[in-house]
Chains A and B, each alone.
Chain A
Amino acid sequence: MATVELLDVRKSFGAMQAVAGVSLRIAEGEFVALLGPSGCGKTTTLNLIAGFLEPTGGDIRFDGTSVARLPPHRRNIGVVFQSYALFPHMTVAQNVAFGLEMRKLPKPQVTERVRRALDIVHLGQMEDRNSRQLSGGQQQRVALARALVIEPAVLLLDEPLSNLDAALREQMRFEIREIQQRVGITTVFVTHDQSEAMAAADRLVVMDKGVIRQVGTAREIYETPVDPFVAGFIGQANLIAGTIDRVTGGQAQVVLEDGTRVVASCRPDAHAGQAVMLMVRPEDASVSAVAPPVTAPSATPPSGGNALSGTLLRASLLGATINLGVAVGERSLSVSVPRGTALPPVGSAVFVTWDPERALLFPA
């Protein structure tokens, strides 16, 4: 177990900057998820921590000691790959024992620790199976046991659930979290799946184009994303361009593209005349057939009345929620309401409304 520090880490492949200055401190025993679209640099960052790649700049430290120039086999890391990468010519027990043999542990100890590691991942009876005879989920667990058994300074998980089917993936993300908690190991988890990251990690690191966009708990990032990218990547977001007309007490009156006036929470540095993006999450909006009461635009302080008129295009039941598509002018807004909500018929004129507290403004 160790703290992991990335200090302005950079990695270029020719002219392409895959990681363009990433700084991050991961506490001992913390579970951090690197999250972002493909090509954002998250896997490169993981490979740099593992030592599979050498940084072109910056430093990587485990417990304050630089490891940036150490080859992977001298770093004391555990890695679980997306493809599991089990040794196909070895049994389950031999796979798990490999790292312990490299550490020259006496045989009885190896046997004992392999057994314990397999128990942790609920594969106690599988020791002598060939790794190729296991299901995807079982292979995943063997890979996890193999990485954990050496008690590495840091556990690195590279999209470990992407090859599993949906149901198993759901189960494994909580299981990985539970095992990580039990062992208390510093863990870096790379994924492009936001719900996976939110379910498993203490903190999320949202990356894009080789840089960190935001670091925080799932709740912080979901409720107060720093920019439209993060807002759109973690959860869904309706984004509408507009201009701030007036700022009053933490709230701004915004004139949207189509001339509609709405009210939204804003940052302290927001000012009149600023071009902004209004963000409303689908589940924070609702749809009604009648216009809500509107106070005069000149009223001080402005309140309520956030409503855009449009046409209900579709209503799709997604299980617990119904997703609605509403055409407002040229754009289509997404609204999510609980199952069983009474709805106007599809095709009718509706108003999309939301609580100003729930709407955020980003500088455009």
Chain B
Amino acid sequence: MITAAMRRCLGAYAALVCLLAVLPVLIIVIESFTASDYVVFPPSGFSVKWYVESLQREEFLDSALLSLWVAVIASVVATALGTLVALALVRFRFPGRRVLQSLFMAPLSVPGIIFGLALLQFLASWGVARDMTAVIVGHVIIALPFAIRFVTVALIGMVANVELAAQSLGASPWVVFRRVTLPLIRPGVVASLVFAFILSFDDVAVSLFLATPGTMTLPVRIYVYIDQNYDPLITAVSAIVVMVAFLALGAIERTLGIGRLFGLR
């Protein structure tokens, strides 16, 4: 039996955990509005000068633009591949299906930094240059397990037999996919796109190994910058990254709800 008092306690506890998770980020965002020339909390005065400054720094703008492109391409590619894999794993029964299912989830268990190093070695041994494509490939691989997961959940949640019904009514396999399957798994596909975008846009570990001075994603640029300087500029840039991720999550919440993303509803 859960009493009203217990429910209030649980609610307070959940709120506390949320606060703990968000608080550090919140502090960065608050600090970014400081008028001082050094990072301080609480901020002294209020100013948006560090935002103005950051928008005038070409290397940050270039990196942001690059990150955006990489994230868009990586999320589209990961989602397309993930959808195909999920379709195969859910709709067909073939030997080795379970093994493949686990194998596709395997990248989740490899720390990003080790995976980045591995990919660097792999590309080098094949003589492939480190460029934007290499970064995209890396991001596709880390996003793929999530893409497969989201689309799989959507496929499993589909009303039974609608694809067979469409077939019986005269729809060829491609038409079945376009007119019935795709519209019905759209929430999973959208979730995959957004989540893959966030993963790619926020990634440091993999990009760190694959980045060159010409292909430095925004998180890598921030990392490199902090290594040498520590001024409020970086808090402003960080705050912008946080907001982009926030907007992306907001987009999911608007379209299907965060809970559904993780199969909670």
Contacts and interface: CB of A to CB of B under 8 A. Distances in A.
Interface of A: 50, 52, 71-79, 81, 83, 85-89, 98-99, 102-103, 143, 146-147, 150, 156
Contact of B168 (A50, A87, A88): A50
A85 B160 contact: yes
Interface of B: 159-162, 164-173, 175, 179-180, 183-184
A97 to B, nearest CB: 10
A324 B142 CA distance: 69
A81 B166 contact: no
A180 B39 CA distance: 80
Nearest to B159: A88
Nearest to A131: B159
Contacts of A88: 159, 162, 184
A86 B162 CA distance: 6
Contacts of A74: 170
B165 A103 contact: no
4 nearest A-B residue pairs (beta carbon):
A99-B169, A102-B170, A85-B161, A85-B165
B160 A81 contact: yes
A81 B169 CA distance: 13
A150 B164 contact: no
Contacts of A81: 160-161, 164-165
A147 B170 CA distance: 11
29 contacts: A50-B164, A52-B167, A71-B167, A72-B167, A73-B168, A73-B169, A73-B170, A73-B172, A73-B173, A75-B168, A79-B165, A83-B160, A85-B162, A85-B164, A85-B165, A86-B159, A86-B162, A87-B162, A87-B165, A87-B166, A87-B180, A88-B159, A88-B184, A98-B179, A102-B169, A102-B171, A146-B165, A150-B169, A156-B168
A72 B161 contact: no
A102 B165 contact: no
A78 B168 contact: yes
A150 B170 CA distance: 9
Nearest to B175: A102
B180 A79 contact: no
Contacts of A85: 159-162, 164-165
A74 B161 CA distance: 18
Nearest to B162: A85
Contacts of A156: 168
Contacts of A87: 162, 165-166, 180
Contacts of A143: 165
Contacts of B180: 87
Nearest to A76: B170
A73 B177 CA distance: 13
Contacts of B184: 88-89
A184 B256 CA distance: 45
Nearest to B176: A73
A72 B175 contact: no
B251 to A, nearest CB: 21
A13 to B, nearest CB: 10
Nearest to A150: B169
Contacts of B167: 52, 71-73
Contacts of B171: 73, 98, 102
A143 B168 CA distance: 12
Given A88-B184, A89-B183, A89-B184, A99 B161 contact: no
A73 B180 CA distance: 14
Nearest to B167: A72
A146 B171 CA distance: 14
Contacts of B168: 50, 72-73, 75, 77-79, 147, 156
A143 to B, nearest CB: 8
Contacts of B161: 81, 83, 85
Nearest to A152: B168
B95 to A, nearest CB: 11
Contact of B159 (A72, A77, A83): A83
